[in-house]
Amino acid sequence: MTVPAIDGWFTDSALLGTRCGSCGSYFFPPERAFCRNPACGSAELEETELSSTGKVWSFSVNHYDAPAPFTGKAPYAVVAVELTEEQIVVLGQLSATSDPSALKIGDEVSLVVEELSEGSEEVVWKWRTT
Amino acid sequence: MANDVAVLGVGMHPWGKWGKPFVEYGVAAARSALDDAGISWRDVEFIAGGETIRNGYAGYVAGATFAQALGWTGVPVATTYAACAAGATAIDIARTRILAGLCDVALVVGADTTPKGFLAPTWGDNPSDPDWRRFRLLGATNPTYFALYARRRMELCGATEEDFARVKVKNSKHGLNNPNARYKKEYTVDEVLTSPMVSDPLRLLQICATSDGGAAVVLASMEYAKRHGVADPVRVSAVSTVTPTFPNTVIEMPNFSTDSAATVAQPELGFRDAIAAAAYEQAGLGPEDLSVAEVYDLSSALELDWYENIGLCKAGEAEKLIRDGDTTIGGRIPVNPSGGLACFGEAVPAQAIAQVCELVWQLRGQAEGRQVEGANVGLSINQGLFGHGSSVIVTR
């Protein structure tokens, strides 16, 4: 039995964002109340799955454990990924199955849902090299 | 300029890890600034405090906390919070009251006592706090974000680890003679590049520490300064506290994502560029007028970004400036003569005020051992978490 580490941000295979029904802007994490485009401000926000592949904008490998509430162990990598259609950059951890030493800016990565940290019952979205 | 206010006095409590209550640093800095101004605390007509969030309720109401410690006088008070930009917003509100004619002389104080190690979420186990979430879900420490920018810079501008190390080496040399600096040790490129890797590509000696410290300035109307016998004070000619413009397309602490540029074109100026542009516009000056700058080197790589944001060179050319020694004292446009965050570490609500203290000493010719000769225009710049611009231009 696994539980999402945060509710309403992702499914088994995709990030959940919202899209403004009026101006078309995307939001992640999902913006539920009002569109944040200052020229819009519409309340018609529709939930939508975001592209599950993107290109690496930048990344870092952390060699020290982050403080609590982080539960993982160093080394671990954080990747910033550019989604082409949404024109948005989204962060995520690098999948435990990907090798950070082979990672380069511009590489294609895809979304995967994995345990938050080793042995955790909670799951979270991560990015995996393709 | 019609919108100038005078800096009558500046003062600091040295940065370090002293472990004392933040109030003591703030009061020491305030007393030092009042002495420097040659006025009494009882002369002060407005006090603005920069809030610290790691020191309990007294920190949330820092302005009143300092006023009480200095002795209640009935003075009106405000406390501002804008993360790393808190000091600049405190300066701005004091300046604005003076310019509005609501007071003639104001005291601005910021001070902090910091815990050891990475800054962690402040409000305990609170999953609704975005700051909590980025640690929980990503392990995205502050240096993680600095590292994302650094690697991007390496990719786009050809920056090398040596370039980042050169920034640390320069700042470590600048800070050697600064009595308020915490770290007074000169480093070599080799020492920087063999220090432990923290957030690749950034090493321990390229990331700023967290420090205790306090800084204060006394601001006054130009008329008050004249009456007080100061004919040619250093002036605050601009304070920029701008927010980003949608869509902000650079990932920023503590966010999970950028804004989407799918339907609205990116603004002409990115956020950091816009902070500087607003300050220059207010002062009626440009980058060519600067004699000295204090920029927020949270990482040594970030200092290079700031060179471009404040217009010292075109985008992608900052590496040449550091390699050629242009930003070293004695060079074309010295940056961080104080030693910067590399030599201070960060005392969040005090840091933007400390930047201004240094510029004032530079413009008065009192920066002993680190003086930029003939300095008459100085700019400080930084950026607070959650979208707070912070830039001050001082002139003489």
Structural domain contains residue A18: no
CA distance B25 to B48: 15
User: Which phi and psi (to 5°) does residue B239 adopt?
Assistant: -135, 120
Mean pLDDT for the stretch of residues B219-240: 97
What is the per-residue pLDDT across B153-165, written as a single tens digit (0 to 9) for each? 999 999 999 999 9
Q: In 3-state terms, what secondary structure has residue B207?
A: strand
Q: How far is the C-alpha of B356 from the C-alpha of B346, rounded, in Å?
A: 15
SS3 assignment, position B244: coil
**Smallest Cα distance from B201 to chain A, Å:** 7
- Judging contacts by C-beta atoms under 8 Å, the chain A residues touching residue B264 are 23, 25, 37, 39
Report yes or no: A15 at the B interface, CB cutoff 8 Å: no
Q: Which residues are CB-contacts of B361 (< 8 A; sequence separation ≥ 6)?
A: B10, B367
Domain of A119, in residue numbers? 53-129
User: Which residue of chain A is at minimal alpha-carbon distance from B251?
Assistant: A89
Instruction: Decide if the complex's ipTM is over 0.95.
Output: yes
Residues of B whose CB is below 8 A from A70: 135-136, 139
Cβ separation B138–A87 shorter than 8 A: no
Q: What would the mean pLDDT of B50-65 be, rounded to a whole number? A: 96
Mutation for A interface: B125, B126, B135, B136, most A CBs within 10 A: B136
Compute the nearest-CA separation of B248 from chain A (Å).
10
What is the C-alpha to C-alpha distance for residues A115 and A13, in angstroms, rounded to an integer? 14
Contact criterion met (CB < 8 Å) for B262 and A88: yes
Q: With pLDDT > 90 as the criterion, what percentage of chain B qualifies?
A: 94
A69 with B125: Cβ contact below 8 A: yes
Q: How many angstroms separate the Cα of B291 from the Cα of each of B23, B232, B333, B372, B380? A: 34, 18, 6, 8, 12
Return the residue of B nearest to A61 by Cα: B200
Distance separating alpha carbons of residues A47 and A19, to the nearest angstrom: 6
How many helices and strands in chain B, by DSSP H and E?
14, 11
What is the tens place of the pLDDT at every residue in B254-265? 999 999 999 999
The position carrying tokens 């927010």 is B243
Write out pLDDT tens, residues B3-45.
999 999 999 999 999 999 999 999 999 999 999 999 999 999 9
pLDDT at B385: 87
Token couple for B129: 């706090």
Q: Over chain B, what is the mean pLDDT? A: 96
What is d(CA A8, CA A49) in angstroms, rounded to the nearest whole number?
A: 11
A68 near B CB under 8 A: yes
Q: What are the φ and ψ backbone dihedral angles of B56, each rounded to 5 degrees?
A: 70, -170
Please say whether the beta carbons of B8 and B105 come within 8 A. Answer: yes
Query: What is the least distance, in Å, from the CA of A88 to any CA of chain B?
Result: 5
Helix axes B161-174, B300-309, angle to 10 degrees: 90
Q: What is the pLDDT of residue B278?
A: 98
Q: What is the pLDDT of residue A1?
A: 64
B19's tokens = 């472990």
pLDDT at B49: 98
The DSSP code for B61 is T
Residue B261: list chain A partners with CB under 8 A.
87-88
Query: How many Å lie between the alpha carbon of A14 and the closest alpha carbon of chain B?
Result: 15
Q: What is the pLDDT of residues B180-207, one digit of tens each?
A: 999 999 999 999 999 999 999 999 999 9
Closest partner residue to A88 (CB to CB) among B199, B246, B260 is B260
Mean pLDDT of B355-361: 98
pLDDT band of residue A2 (cuts 50, 70, 90) is confident
pLDDT for position B1: 66
Q: What is the mean pLDDT of residues A28-41?
A: 96
Predicted pLDDT of residue B119: 74
Is residue A56 pLDDT above 80, yes or no? yes
Residue B384 has pLDDT above 70, yes or no: yes
Q: Name which of B120, B151, B247 is nearest A58 (Cβ-Cβ).
A: B151
Residue B15: helix, strand or coil by DSSP? strand
Structural domains in chain A (count): 1
Using the structure block, give the residue that is written with the tokens 């101006």.
A23
Cis peptide leading into B14, omega within 30 of 0?
no
Among A20, A61, A89, beta carbon nearest to B200: A61
Q: CB under 8 Å to B304, separation ≥6 — which residues?
A: B153, B157, B159, B163, B164, B167, B318, B319, B321, B322
Give Cα separations from B192 to B162, B168, B184, B316 (angstroms). 9, 8, 15, 23
> Does residue A9 fall inside a structural domain?
no
Question: Coil, helix or strand for B165?
Answer: helix
Strands A88-94 and A53-62, bridge-based pairing: unpaired
**A95 three-state secondary structure:** coil
Per-residue model confidence as pLDDT tens digits over B113-149 = 998 877 777 767 788 898 899 999 999 999 999 999 9
Q: What digits encode the pLDDT tens for the residues A80-106? A: 999 999 999 999 999 999 999 999 999
Among the partner residues A60, A68, A86, nearest to B262 by beta-carbon distance: A86
pLDDT tens-digit profile of B284-337? 999 999 999 999 999 999 999 999 999 999 999 999 999 999 999 999 999 999
Q: Give residue B236's pLDDT.
A: 98
Interface probe, candidates B118, B123, B137, chain A, greatest A C-beta count within 10 A? B137
Q: Give me the mean pLDDT over the A29-51 stretch.
A: 97
A117 located within any domain: yes
Taking CB atoms and an 8 Å cutoff, what residues of chain A touch B155?
58, 105
pLDDT for position B126: 85
**Which runs of consecutive H residues, i.e. helices, occur in chain B?**
22-37, 56-60, 62-70, 86-99, 130-133, 142-157, 161-174, 189-193, 222-227, 271-283, 300-309, 318-324, 340-344, 348-364
Domains of chain B and CATH, by start: 5-117+212-233 (3.40.47.10), 130-205+237-395 (3.40.47.10)
